[in-house]
Amino acid sequence: MARYFLEVMYDGTAFHGSQVQGDTPTVQLALNTALSTLLRSPVETFGASRTDEGVHALCNYYHFDTDKELLQVFFYNLNSILPHTIAVNRIFLADDPTLNARFAALTRRYRYRIYTKKDPFRYERAFYFPFKLDTALLHETAKIIMEHTNFETFSKRNTQSKTFLCTIHQSYWEQHDKELHYVVEANRFLRGMVRGLVGTQLQVARGKMTIEAFRAAIDARDCTLADFSVDGHGLYLEHIQYPENSLVELYI
Residue 119 domain-assigned (yes or no): no
Count Cα neighbours of 246 within 13 Å in the Cβ-side half-sphere: 15
Q: Are residues 66 and 138 in the same domain?
A: no
Residue 117 domain-assigned (yes or no): no
Of the candidates 16, 89, 46, 68, the one whose C-alpha atom is nearest the C-alpha of residue 252 is 89
Residue 114 domain-assigned (yes or no): no
| Contact by Cβ (8 Å): 43, 34 | no
Residues of the chain with pLDDT under 70: 159-160
pTM of the shown model: 0.95
Q: Are residues 151 and 96 in the same domain?
A: no
How confident is the model over 150-170, as pLDDT tens digits? 999 999 877 667 899 999 999
Q: Are residues 76 and 143 in the same domain?
A: no
Residue 154 domain-assigned (yes or no): yes
- 203: three-class secondary structure by DSSP: helix
Long-range contact list for 220-226, CB < 8 A, 24+ apart? 220/153, 221/150, 221/152, 221/153, 221/164, 222/152, 222/153, 223/152, 223/153, 223/154, 223/155, 223/156, 223/157, 223/196, 225/153, 225/200, 226/153, 226/154, 226/196, 226/197, 226/199, 226/200
Domain of residue 196 covers 130-229
Residue 61 domain-assigned (yes or no): yes
Q: Are residues 85 and 143 in the same domain?
A: no
Q: Are residues 182 and 214 in the same domain?
A: yes
CATH of the domain at 27: 3.30.70.580
Q: Are residues 222 and 244 in the same domain?
A: no
Q: Are residues 210 and 167 in the same domain?
A: yes
Q: Is the dihedral of CA 137, 143, 148, 150 positive or negative?
A: positive
Asked about 227 being catalytic, the answer comes back as no
Distance CA 179, CA 114 (A): 5
Q: Are residues 245 and 225 in the same domain?
A: no
Q: Are residues 100 and 6 in the same domain?
A: yes
Distance CA 18, CA 30 (A): 9
Residue 135 domain-assigned (yes or no): yes
For residue 167, how far is the Cα from the chain centroid?
A: 16
Q: Are residues 88 and 161 in the same domain?
A: no
Residue 26 domain-assigned (yes or no): yes
Q: What is the pLDDT, as a whole number, of residue 252?
A: 75
- 72: three-class secondary structure by DSSP: helix
Q: Which of 11, 23, 52, 96 is catalytic?
A: 52
What distances in angstroms separate CA 178 from CA 114, 122, 133, 154, 233, one per listed residue? 9, 10, 14, 28, 17
CATH of the domain at 212: 3.30.70.660
Q: Are residues 99 and 7 in the same domain?
A: yes
Residue 234 domain-assigned (yes or no): no
- The count of domains in the chain is 2
Q: Are residues 172 and 208 in the same domain?
A: yes
Q: What is the pLDDT, as a whole number, of residue 160?
A: 67
